[in-house]
Chains A and B, each alone.
Chain A
Amino acid sequence: MKSTHEMLLSQEFRTLVRRKWTVSVILTLCLFVVYYGFILLIAVDKTFLARKIGAFTTLGIPLGVAVIVLSWVLTALYVLWANSSHDAAVKHLAEQVKE
């Protein structure tokens, strides 16, 4: 059993916190690239999105859908990681601390 203070200083806890924020920050950056990339693309180059990819369908339509789908995929990646390996590590450490 460890005290709160010992746990916070332990290598394992510090690795866990660092890993959590690394994953969070990387995924947040991906989200920024996807969403603000889309918005800025529209602001800067409207003709790009107006390009036709079918008889009438413009490139903007699948890109808009892609922003939504990718946002969901990023969310799913996080949950997949957090609810498996991250949660196991959390449980392992939580058992070592006295309430």
Chain B
Amino acid sequence: MQTTLGTPTASAIAFFFLIVALTLAITWWAAKRTRSTREFYAAGRSVSAFQNGLALSGDYMSAASFLGIAGLVALKGYDGMIYATGWLVGWPALMFLIAEPLRNLGKYTFADVVAFRLRQTPVRISSAVGGILTVLLYTIAQMVGAGNLIKLMFGIPYEAAEIVVGAVMLAYVLFGGMIATTWVQIVKAVLLLVGVSLLTLLVLARFGWNPGDLYAAVSTQLGQEALEPGGLVTSPVDAVSLGLALMFGLLGLPHILMRFYTVPDARAARKSVLYATGFIGYFYIIIPIVGFGASVLVGRDVISGIDKGGNMAAPLLAEALGGTFFLGFIAAVAFATILAVVAGLTLAGASALSHDIYVSVVKHGQATEQEQVRVAKASTVVFGILAVLLGVLFKGQNVAFMVGLAFAIACSANFPALLLSIVWKRFTTAGAVASILTGAFLSVFLIVISPTVWVDVLGKETALFPLKNPAIVSMTAAFLVGFLVSLLGREPRAEAMFEDEKLRTYLGVGAE
């Protein structure tokens, strides 16, 4: 099959500029409404439940979900579908366990919750370590993916792609703060859902609107194995460990948790999670149809010939079904997806630097409104430049493990401390710091000696640690360490403050 992929076609360029113009117009509009810290970090708590539901979906559905899972299904068949289910199941857990306390206790970041009644300096610093580590790894994975994808789709050099992504998303965050970032996520989520729905409809139309006929074509062309579980899930412990990372990692992703402060109250927070779960669930249900469609209508050889990982399955399918024009649209949607996710991550990283470290630790919470906004913007620039530099530095590296590692750190460093601080009166500052640091360093250490890095990246023969994802060990260890260290000493001030915290957690009394 002939493809125009990799050459900048008129439609791809037109859609690309249309999206950039639209999002920059939103930013210009949002900039006039972004003066206070509350507006910069939390969009003035004025985002509706439906809007936040779309924005949460936008933050979560990355290019890796869209292009990666479609490619995985195209090349590996049913295994890609198993992988897709894991990405949704964190949302109900987020709702049941931390959604309301998070909304009621915090102000701008999840560290606000952990530090609510514990000693500010040590807790803020360690939470920022966990938070920034998660965000940085996630950002590196996104930026490297972005450079490769943009190079494949538009044919522009990797470094130039990094700078374009960095500059555009920096404009959103720097001038429009959370208001612009939220609207960029909404635009992107709608475009992505429309784009993938169109692809699905075009695939189904080819098979007489009967998925059974699609599977028949898959079975005839690729063999029945494509519709059966393959090598992805073999060891039960490995499978559960990855599942734990995906499920509870969500409960520790700073850029997702930050969105809870953009809605007016806990009630709206709950509704927004329900909307998000609906949109994301729908997305993961239809994306396998796109993947299977690509495997029979484009062919596995063509897909893996252009990109080994299969990332171009969806764009190639778009071209096969809707021509160059539709390819241009899908390529621009993928680009918008990358921009929006990186913008969300940058805002989260900047808020950890400025709100948790500078304002809470350096200034002991004593900073004027003006100073806080200035520091937030400076941190945004620092984080944005860092993202571009890391993207260039990791060019050509195998960074697939970094998303897994980000989820492992999120579920081991951020989530246990967050949950324990909400439910357990005796939780102490020492317990929180020990739990966060154990979770962070143990997940990094274990993933380095696991098959994911030790064998796949460093090329050694056998791994020192058997599991591909360390979550089952590192998360358990973080809970245990947090529990045991807290039992070693008592913190009367924290215990005394638990009453106020409880009232705010469950009744929302005094919530921002």
Contact = CB atoms under 8 A, between A and B. Distances in A.
Interface of A: 4-5, 7-8, 13, 16-17, 20, 23-25, 27-28, 31, 34-36, 38-40, 42-44, 46, 49-50, 54-58, 60-61, 64-65, 67-69, 71-72, 74-76, 78-79, 82-83, 87, 90, 93-94, 97, 99
Contact of A20 (B92, B506, B508): B506
A83 B236 contact: no
B154 interface: no
Mostly, the A contact residues are helix
B18 interface: no
18 contacts: A8-B499, A8-B502, A17-B506, A27-B96, A35-B247, A50-B224, A50-B229, A56-B215, A56-B224, A56-B227, A60-B81, A60-B82, A60-B227, A64-B78, A69-B285, A75-B273, A82-B270, A90-B508
B14 interface: no
Contacts of B86: 35, 39
B267 A64 contact: no
Nearest to B510: A99
A83 B267 contact: yes
A13 B499 CA distance: 12
B8 interface: no
A55 to B, nearest CB: 6
Interface in B76-125: 78, 81-82, 84-86, 88-89, 91-93, 95-97, 100
Contacts of B96: 23-25, 27-28, 31, 78
Interface string B465-479: 000000000000000
Question: Most chain-A CB neighbours within 10 Å: which of B81, B234, B284, B506?
Answer: B506
Contacts of A55: 212, 216
Contacts of A94: 507-509
B277 interface: yes
B211 A83 contact: no
Contact of A40 (B81, B216, B236): B236
Contacts of B281: 68-69, 71-72
A44 B239 CA distance: 11
B97 A24 contact: yes
A4 B500 contact: yes
B218 A78 contact: no
Interface residues of B, number: 53
Contacts of A23: 96
Given A87-B267, A94-B508, A68 B229 contact: no
A31 B93 contact: yes
B278 A72 contact: yes
Contact of A4 (B227, B277, B503): B503
B215 A61 contact: yes
The 6 closest A-B CB pairs, nearest first, are A50-B228, A43-B236, A56-B219, A24-B96, A94-B507, A42-B233
Question: Most chain-B CB neighbours within 10 Å: which of A7, A46, A54, A71?
Answer: A71
A60 B503 contact: no
Nearest to A48: B229
B461 to A, nearest CB: 25
Nearest to A76: B274
B239 A39 contact: yes
B88 A68 contact: yes
Contact of B92 (A27, A50, A56): A27
A90 B215 CA distance: 50
B271 interface: yes
Contacts of B506: 13, 16-17, 20, 90
A24 B96 CA distance: 5
